[in-house]
Structure 1
Amino acid sequence: MRLALVAVGRLKRGPERDLAEGYRARADALARGLGLSAVQLTELPESRARRAPDRCAEEGAAILACLPAGSAVIVMDEGGRAVTSAGLAEQVAAWRDGGRPGLTIVIGGADGLCESVRHRADLVFAFGAATLPHGLVRVLVLEQLYRVMTILAGHPYHRGAP
């Protein structure tokens, strides 16, 4: 199953980018043995439209153009539902074992996601109700992908509840 992360905006050099790349490298090292690909990163330019609804629409169209047919889609949204790491691992395994060709995780722009992107999602996911910086969300998404892989591989990184 192909793994992809589509994010609006570029992550600048610095500690967030270093952390994100570190987790991405860890995930990539485990992926093949689990029937998964390395994580393909697509950074989309932020819209320059003057009005927020126009920015959302432009960014939404660009996001939708990146979503392969048949791919499972997770969108990150503060209004989404919280899922445990183990629950996320179960869902990823179900998609993989069910023959889904890919999984794409989407991080929208500063103005959020348009409804057409949310509608395309198989899961609207949140790390909680708080609004988080996009760079930090990218780090957390990549850490969770790595954690999902360690759970699927039976690796001790994820110890879970006692």
Structure 2
Amino acid sequence: MRVVISAVGRLKAGPERELAERYRDRAAKAGRAIGLRDVEVIEIRESRAQEVDRRRLEESIALANLMPEGSVLVALSERGASFDSASFARQVAAWRDNGRPAVMFVIGGADGLSPDLEARAGLTLAFGAATWPHQLVRIMLLEQLYRAVTMLAGHPYHRS
């Protein structure tokens, strides 16, 4: 199964990008042992539209156009479900075991995702009730993917 994280905005060079890449690389390498083909991050440009709804719509269309055929769509939103790490790992395993070719996580920009894209998602996921900057959400998602992979592989990274 392929894991794709599609995000509005670009992480600039610096500690955030380095940390995100470190977790992406770890998840990709460790994921091979449990049937993950790749973990990739795709960044799209922020819309220049003046109106919030138009910006959200343009960004959401660009994100939706990146969706691999047959993939599960997971929207990151503060209105989503909160999973503990073990539950998240079980969900990743279920997608893999059900033969899904890919799972695509989408992270909106400053204005979030369009309601239509959120409604299309098979799962809407939150990292708690707080609103997080999209740069940190990307890092937290990559860390949780790495944690899920290590849990599924029986690696001692996660401690209960």
Give me the TM-score of the superposition, normalised by structure 2: 0.97
Which amino acid is 2:121 matched to? A
Q: Distance in 1 between matches of 2:105 and 2:30?
A: 18
DSSP-derived class of the 1:46 partner: coil
Compute the RMSD of aligned alpha carbons.
Answer: 0.8
DSSP-derived class of the 1:143 partner: helix
Which amino acid is 1:89 matched to? A
**Paired residue for 2:125?**
125
Q: Distance in 2 between matches of 1:142 and 1:16?
A: 12
Give per-residue Cα distances to partners, 1:103-133, cap 9 Å, x unaligned.
Answer: 1111111101101211121110101111111
DSSP-derived class of the 1:73 partner: strand
**Paired residue for 1:46?**
46
DSSP-derived class of the 2:104 partner: strand
| Structure 1 outlier segments of 4+, above 3 Å | none
Identity among equivalent positions (%) equals 54
**Paired residue for 1:97?**
97
DSSP-derived class of the 2:103 partner: strand
Which amino acid is 2:139 matched to? V
DSSP-derived class of the 2:129 partner: coil
Q: Distance in 2 between matches of 1:29 and 1:82?
A: 26
Q: Which deviates further from its counterpart, 32-41 or 52-61?
A: 32-41
Q: Distance in 2 between matches of 1:120 and 1:51?
A: 23
Q: Following TM superposition, by how much is the alpha carbon of 1:81 offset from its aligned partner in structure 2, in angstroms?
A: 1.1
**Paired residue for 2:86?**
86
Q: Distance in 1 between matches of 2:124 and 2:47?
A: 22
Give me the TM-score of the superposition, normalised by structure 1: 0.96
Q: Distance in 2 between matches of 1:149 and 1:25?
A: 12
DSSP-derived class of the 1:41 partner: strand
**Paired residue for 2:134?**
134
Q: Following TM superposition, by how much is the alpha carbon of 1:69 offset from its aligned partner in structure 2, in angstroms?
A: 2.2
Q: Following TM superposition, by how much is the alpha carbon of 1:135 offset from its aligned partner in structure 2, in angstroms?
A: 1.1
Q: Distance in 2 between matches of 1:14 and 1:68?
A: 30
Structure 2 unaligned spans of 5+: none
**Paired residue for 2:9?**
9
Residues 1:152 and 2:159 are matched in the alignment? no
Q: Distance in 1 between matches of 2:63 and 2:29?
A: 27
Aligned residues: 160
Q: Distance in 1 between matches of 2:4 and 2:85?
A: 18
Q: Distance in 2 between matches of 1:152 and 1:72?
A: 19
